Chain A
């Protein structure tokens, strides 16, 4: 679960989590600001997070393809 402001430091633990459970689930509905590094991990993992992203800008502009 990604919550609140997700700074650059969150990238590493998120990566470890996704390495263990590559399919997720990943909930990002309550995150309201996503750092690029965290987004990069999500993109690289190719996971489809659950629900709409809590970060409105990301929701509008970053299209994730399953």
Chain B
């Protein structure tokens, strides 16, 4: 065996063995938040890359790691959707899915011509020759790694969103394989793709790594997608002879990556954030590949349709952009009536989306919220009571003027209008229009909200648009571009200067508050690392929840209004999470402002005999009466309305506990038998 052969063999063995060993360690150490979580991150990264390899093989093209992983995530979401619709996406099937991805990953390690470790070794001499560039990229990668570690280590979710809804949805999925929560507003607000992804992070046996999937895995995928966009310019093995324009200058690429790694985190919970950005960036890049004459168009449009549908499953507000972008790209093709491409896109999209629709319908009697309200309470406003067109215009302007976290979006808007995309399908033009229309629809439909929330919701497509404009717009550098130049996007020199200036300004703006961010991140890391050395838990809260649940007969239905319902065993009882009180409930609708007897009769009419709730004065967050009493009068409209429902709800539950048999009460947590008088 020659030395290079031996190195190659060793590289393949290492690449195959590391994820397998990580899987063993992560599953064997569920209480180790940092090291166990990091090991599981390696497993999940390899698994989605494995799924991506399956897609690659089917298309017959080899793409960069970022795009491969994003394609893999799309395939995973497609498969997970089918299991979710069947109600069997529980822990064991999830682990089987992870293992299947790992098997595909291992298969690739022995198929690939040049193992990734060998490629990395070969790149080392070139990196040494350019120490300044290398140092810059080491810095960027270093910050990225710290951010990833921070996301692995962070254990505090948002008590309003994560503790009450998102984490319980993950727990429900792992326990039962379904997401049937007809009383949950947060369930009705998304098809469940994000929950299916988050469940991957918890499948090793702990819910502690809340941000493992979104903040670590998909954050990494976004960075790899950006690097791939800048470096490879959509080079495919099948069409390797002709790249789609020059590689973006490395310094500029470094700046873009620096901007992204330094972005302030505007995410406030474990809802879709980086997952959305990754899928939209991958969707864009896949549409770009379809621009090329020699690409396998039909199969690529299958991937386009599947990725668009996968993005739809993450958040309802992704739907408009995810549908409009492929539609516009297809319409902009010279052979717009090529039925094969339309059929491929629509069929793949439907195949991914249909199972999520089935699951959503079973849970909330709607597959198109908010257009079809399902179990949502129509009396809950999403728009202000009164809003004049002038006020709405003012609201639009306020939102546009205060973008977050990419604060230079406004400066770049004119550059977007100057950009000329001559590629088939006009990917950048189509994406820009789709984003603008989708964002306008979001703002219009949610004027009761605020600009920070709206930019957070739109992060999934706003960040990719920014990245694409910068990376593709700067591909020719600052040189004059002639008509013959194979550049992806033509922007006048002044526009490209504006982009560079915007990048630098964004870095300066992001610098504010960094010290505090990283001080907190350091504290998170220390705490998470300590979990491995001291695995013992007090379990007081867990035991209280367990005892409460054990006071109800196994198999009985329980409606719960508790602060941490993820501590319940969803497999033992049919649990209905009441989530944000009054926002959603099956017909004829949970009665509010009508007293306790009406509520008891309603629950019993739904086949729910037991009610578990936390008293308003004992609640740690979601059901605190004093907080909601204040918000009923002094907050914005949506929270004034929610306050009224919550105060009525907790008062009604307390009244029920006074007249019905109480089976358990401790620390303000109560289990009531609605069918038995006191």
Q: A and B: partners?
A: no
